[in-house]
């Protein structure tokens, strides 16, 4: 059984449109005009158990609307949707026991209660048997290092501390599928890394499926091999993160610092016949752009060194995921 299966999943909203001027305002009072926004447009999505998938897109692309449908908060306008084998909206009560949700901007903990009181309440809400609850919670407390926080009211926690507690909360009932919306927003680098490591661990050990929505492409690069990209309600890419880099990353850039200044023609001659481009950046600094898969970096460097170019320092640069995504949004992309 797939963790998530959506076919032609669509969500439309009716939004009120006001007419211009005073007479428009009067007419609005008598009969309102509505316009339809298609926030999610016939998307197909299949996610297998144990996959970690990044769900990305610009503001307003339709990510939150999708997640709200997948978690049962919103009813789709049309299309087929099964999550963990359930219709999330219609079978909500049974369904929510099988998923965990973390929204970076919102808390599921009770603000004035101590962290462990929230945990105990949730044990009751989910009716988790004591024998199952105790060892699992103990392990999460250890791994997330939240022992010291258990007696504190949630409102006193720092953002990083609260996020670690939120993760424990979302996993208290051992769901097989976890939705994460901006889980590392506002966190410092070290806490971010702890949280990423924790997510990798639960994925490895418990085969937890993770759907991660974020603007932080570092999270995606660290966690997800697959990425789904949404644009104006349509999926414009669904595939391997590395492939995205290969096809859209414009290859690699080698930056060379040389011992003396060279004529560009001298350098060009060293890589004659190879599909690379040279650029002089400063008197002793040159950049070689090596495209996609047609030629490998060692081959290019081998040629340069063979011809006696005296290299002092060398750096290899790759386009970041962020640059790639920006480029795709600028130039557009169609699914293949
Ligand atoms: N309840 C609603 N009523 C009317 N329109 C809505 C509603 N919720 C979302 N929309 C519209 O649907 C579109 C998609 O919004 P959505 O919040 O899903 O985007 P998003 O990708 O999550 O954006 P962000 O990254 O800013 O959170 C937007 O045009 C938004 O204005």
pLDDT tens digits along 6-18: 999 999 998 877 7
Q: How many domains does the chain have?
A: 2
Do both 31 and 151 map to the same domain? Answer: yes
Do both 28 and 106 map to the same domain? Answer: yes
Rounded-to-integer distance, Cα 309 and Cα 262, Å: 9
Atom of ligand 1 nearest to the CA of 57: 21
- pLDDT(78) > 50: yes
Which whole number is the average pLDDT over 291-305? 84
Query: What confidence score (pLDDT) does residue 262 get?
Result: 93
- Going from the Cα of 187 to the center of ligand 1, the distance in angstroms, rounded, reads 25
Do both 39 and 154 map to the same domain? Answer: yes
Atom of ligand 1 nearest to the CA of 15: 4
Do both 242 and 258 map to the same domain? Answer: no
User: What is the sign, positive or negative, of the torsion defined by CA atoms of 191, 192, 197, 201?
Assistant: positive
- Residue nearest (by alpha carbon) to ligand 1 atom 16: 62
Q: Which of 213, 206, 211 is nearest to 173 (CA)?
A: 206
Ligand 1 pocket member 69 (CB < 6 A):
no
Rounded-to-integer distance, Cα 88 and Cα 82, Å: 7
Specify the CATH number for the domain of residue 271: 3.30.70.1560
Domain presence at residue 33: yes
Query: What confidence score (pLDDT) does residue 332 get?
Result: 65
- Going from the Cα of 300 to the center of ligand 1, the distance in angstroms, rounded, reads 47
Domain presence at residue 258: yes
Atom of ligand 1 nearest to the CA of 62: 18
Ligand 1 pocket member 37 (CB < 6 A):
yes
Is the ipTM, as predicted for this complex, more than 0.90? yes
Domain's final residue, options 246, 269, 294: 246
What is the per-residue burial (b if ≥16 Cβ within 10 Å, else e) of 229-265? bbbebbbbbbeebeebbebbbbbbbbebebeeebeee
Ligand 1 pocket member 15 (CB < 6 A):
yes
Rounded-to-integer distance, Cα 304 and Cα 308, Å: 7
Ligand 1 pocket member 65 (CB < 6 A):
yes
- Residue nearest (by alpha carbon) to ligand 1 atom 30: 60
Do both 217 and 255 map to the same domain? Answer: no
Domain presence at residue 191: yes
Query: What confidence score (pLDDT) does residue 335 get?
Result: 44
Do both 120 and 14 map to the same domain? Answer: yes
- Residue nearest (by alpha carbon) to ligand 1 atom 12: 39
Domain presence at residue 335: no
- Going from the Cα of 154 to the center of ligand 1, the distance in angstroms, rounded, reads 29
Query: What confidence score (pLDDT) does residue 293 get?
Result: 67
**Residue-number span of the structural domain to which 90 is assigned:** 4-246
Do both 218 and 299 map to the same domain? Answer: no
Domain's final residue, options 195, 219, 246: 246
Do both 211 and 257 map to the same domain? Answer: no
- pLDDT(46) > 90: yes
The answer to whether 181 and 104 have CB atoms below 8 angstroms apart is yes
Domain presence at residue 284: yes
Phi, psi of 4 (to 5 degrees): -130, 130
Do both 235 and 270 map to the same domain? Answer: no
pLDDT confidence of 333, banded at 50, 70, 90? low
- Residue nearest (by alpha carbon) to ligand 1 atom 28: 60
pLDDT confidence of 86, banded at 50, 70, 90? very high
Ligand 1 pocket member 34 (CB < 6 A):
no
Rounded-to-integer distance, Cα 149 and Cα 178, Å: 23
Which whole number is the average pLDDT over 324-333? 72
Domain's final residue, options 207, 230, 246: 246
Which whole number is the average pLDDT over 319-326? 72
pLDDT confidence of 33, banded at 50, 70, 90? confident
Best residue among 15, 62, 69, 179 to mutate for probing ligand 1, ranked by most atoms within 8 Å of CB: 62
Domain presence at residue 336: no
Query: What confidence score (pLDDT) does residue 26 get?
Result: 80
Q: Read off the pLDDT of residues 174-227 as tens digits, 9 standing for 90 and up.
A: 999 999 988 888 777 888 888 889 899 999 989 999 999 988 878 888 899 899
Specify the CATH number for the domain of residue 31: 3.40.50.300
Domain presence at residue 324: no
The answer to whether 208 and 47 have CB atoms below 8 angstroms apart is no
- Residue nearest (by alpha carbon) to ligand 1 atom 7: 13
Do both 17 and 157 map to the same domain? Answer: yes
- Residue nearest (by alpha carbon) to ligand 1 atom 26: 59
Domain presence at residue 331: no
Do both 136 and 10 map to the same domain? Answer: yes
Do both 99 and 173 map to the same domain? Answer: yes
């Amino acid at each position: 059984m797939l963790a998530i299966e959506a076919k032609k999943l669509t969500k439309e909203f009716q939004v009120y449109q006001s007419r211009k001027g005073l007479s428009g305002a009067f007419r609005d009072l008598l009969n309102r005009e509505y316009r339809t926004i298609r926030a999610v447009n016939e998307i197909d999505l299949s996610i297998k158990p144990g996959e970690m998938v990044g769900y990305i897109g610009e503001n307003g692309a339709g990510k939150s609307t999708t997640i709200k449908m997948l978690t049962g908060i919103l009813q789709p306008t049309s299309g087929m949707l099964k999550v963990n084998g359930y219709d999330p909206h219609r079978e909500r009560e049974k369904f929510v026991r099988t998923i965990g949700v973390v929204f970076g901007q919102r808390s599921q903990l009770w603000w004035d209660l101590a962290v462990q009181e929230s945990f105990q309440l949730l044990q009751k809400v989910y009716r988790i048997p004591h024998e199952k609850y105790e060892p699992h919670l103990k392990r999460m407390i250890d791994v997330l290092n939240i022992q010291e926080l258990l007696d504190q009211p949630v409102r006193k926690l720092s953002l990083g501390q609260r996020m670690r507690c939120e993760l424990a909360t979302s996993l208290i009932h051992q769901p097989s599928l976890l939705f994460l919306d901006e889980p590392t927003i506002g966190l410092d680098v070290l806490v971010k890394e702890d949280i990423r490591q924790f997510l990798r661990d639960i994925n490895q050990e418990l085969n937890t499926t993770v759907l991660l929505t974020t603007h932080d492409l570092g999270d995606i690069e660290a966690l997800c091999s697959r990425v789904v990209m949404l644009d104006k309600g349509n999926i414009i890419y669904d595939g391997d993160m590395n492939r995205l880099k290969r096809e859209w990353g414009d290859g690699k850039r080698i930056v060379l610092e040389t011992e003396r200044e060279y004529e560009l023609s001298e350098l060009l001659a060293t890589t004659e016949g190879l599909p690379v481009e040279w650029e002089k950046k400063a008197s002793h600094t040159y950049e070689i752009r090596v495209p996609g898969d047609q030629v490998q970096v060692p081959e290019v460097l081998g040629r340069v060194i063979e011809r006696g170019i005296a290299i002092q320092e060398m750096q290899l640069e790759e386009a970041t995921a962020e640059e790639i995504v920006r480029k795709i949004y600028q130039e557009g992309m169609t699914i293949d």
